[in-house]
Amino acid sequence: MIRLLLTLSFGLILQSVGLAAEKPNVLFIAIDDLRPELGCYGSPIAKSPHLDQLASDGLLFNRAYCQQAICRPSRASLMTGARPDTTGLYHNYVSLRELQPNILTLPEHFIANGYEAAYCGKIFHQGDTDDGRSWNRESVKRVAGIQKPKGGYALPENLKTKSVNVKTMLAKYGEAARRGLAAGPAYEKADVADTDYVDGYNTQMAIATLKEMVQEDKKPFFLAMGYKLPHLNWCAPSKYWDLYDAKDIPMAEETNAPQNGAAMGLHASFELRTRAGIPKEGPLSPELSRTLKHAYLASVSYVDAQIGKLIAALEEAGVRDNTVIVVWGDHGWHLGDMGVWGKATNYEIATRVPLMIWAPDMQARGAQTDALVELVDIYPTLCDLAGIPVPAHTEGTSFQPLMNDPNQAWKQAAFSQYPNPALREWAANPLSQGMRETWFGPLIQQVENRIIEQQGSKWDRELFEQHLMGYTMRTDQYRLVVWQDHRAPEATPIAVELFDHSRDPHETINIADKEPELTQQLLAQWRAGWEAAK
């Protein structure tokens, strides 16, 4: 009898080990500030062969949206499966655990279900790495023959420029200067190795970590790799710049603010203007604009090459066929679109993101889908693909069914939000005194004057600077933007914008006043919220 029990117990252990081995690995790739400027998304210029190849064998989402077009809130939402109004995280200078000490993150949940989890690069925002909870294995910190980059630039003159600018602002404003009041150049082209910049270096750390996890662990792995580029500053090796002929780079088609749009809908490109060599007011010259887009594209191609190396390492390790690969951008980026350089708006160009996925058993290979999906959907999707339960707190919808039938009926809407971009710093935090005192002061005043002129008696400084939230809903045909006092969600909106994508894909004309019945219909749909749109 004892022998029989031991035999049964041993058999159950073997069965458990076998089930664990059958669980797919996850390669989780985050790219900072990447809009869908890739060949697979129809870019006429972007050189992105490795991501294009992945998309050609997986599923590409043509209409994926972030929950807020700024780093920390977007990543906190994705990594917890909860929307910004649930996390309470709306800007970059408050930590996730400060607001949500007990919320279960995506990798934390995978660890609880038998996974080994590690990360390299930027996954959560800086300060939200969640070490010790969301990760149960340290990544490799060094590889023989590769030196860790320092300071973000490879060229000494650029390192010096940054150092001088930061010291000057620190002397004047103290620690507040570290919140973006000084920076080095916006871009750099240098004849250096890929590993001389942090994304190339971190890729090698991720590859070494992958090899260790495959060789040493019996558990399935959740390996996250976060790329900094194409976030400013756009520093990439010369060979990626040389992929492009500057004169052939197409520039933004629509460079004006939306006609009849809300004056608070756009900002003054603060994030870019703080960089050395960028005009502190007024439009950028055509020559500088072209150079900046060239720098952005070079950065995209550089990251694409690193992702190619990472996927090749999966194949070399013999685990490619049992690894889910998901690639996502945390938000879009205006490259002169609507006259803006940066993220941080509620419009299509800032909220739409690249998203693609590959999984071992998916049926829709090399397919694209126009289904409306959101970054908050990634959490439940990966749970479904791994065969683990979806936590009750998550607020997204698993898009696993789309991986087999990408043309089926899906969500009625996707939802994003952003607090007043015009009167917030580029990290979405309220304007500081330092921002008002530097060269940004006149810009802030110009924007404020436009808002006061447009809004008239509705103007209230505390409301517009501290409490005004822009909520946006993207349906199949329309984008609705609702400017609402965050403290009074049932009150009449301060302003409403409506764009018809069937006629106006660049969102150039606000038709809310011309289409009052349609606007009220969409407002009712927005008020019903994301749960009603599933």
Contact 116, 136 (CB under 8 A): yes
State the Cα–Cα distance between residues 251 and 283, nearest whole angstrom. 14
Whose tokens are 């996850």? That residue is 26
In sequence order, what DSSP letters do the residues of 239-274 get, joined into one string?
Answer: HHHTTS-GGG----S--SPPBT--GGG----HHHHT
State the Cα–Cα distance between residues 460 and 534, nearest whole angstrom. 36
The candidate with the shortest Cα–Cα distance to 250, out of 45, 49, 48, 47, is 45
Contact 69, 45 (CB under 8 A): no
**Angle (nearest 5°) at CA 104 between 100 and 107:** 125
Under DSSP, is residue 533 helix (H, G, I), strand (E, B) or coil?
coil
Contact 136, 224 (CB under 8 A): no
Contact 440, 281 (CB under 8 A): no
Q: Of these residues, 50, 125, 294, 334, which one is catalytic?
A: 125
The token duo for 162 is 């940054």
**Looking at this protein, which amino acid is placed at residue 392?**
A
Whose tokens are 């996390």? That residue is 87
State the Cα–Cα distance between residues 521 and 528, nearest whole angstrom. 11
* 71 classed as catalytic: yes
State the Cα–Cα distance between residues 315 and 313, nearest whole angstrom. 5
The candidate with the shortest Cα–Cα distance to 319, out of 235, 200, 247, 223, is 223
The token duo for 253 is 């088609």
C-alpha torsion sign, points 375, 377, 383, 387: negative
Backbone angles phi, psi at 347, to 5 degrees: -95, 170
* 40 classed as catalytic: no
In sequence order, what DSSP letters do the residues of 402-419 get, joined into one string?
Answer: GGT-TTS---S-EEEEEE
Outline where DSSP puts E strands in 57-206.
59-65, 116-121, 187-190
The strand pairing partners of 417, in sequence order, are: 471
In sequence order, what DSSP letters do the residues of 303-314 get, joined into one string?
Answer: HHHHHHHHHHHH
Distance (Å) of CA 50 to CA 38, 189, 196, 213, 413: 10, 22, 21, 24, 31
Q: Of these residues, 40, 66, 71, 235, which one is catalytic?
A: 71
Q: In sequence order, which residues have a C-beta less than 8 Å from that of residue 9 and are 6 or more positions away?
A: none
- Cα 361 to chain center, whole Å? 27
Neighbours of 521 (CB within 10 A): 13
- Positions marked catalytic: 71, 125
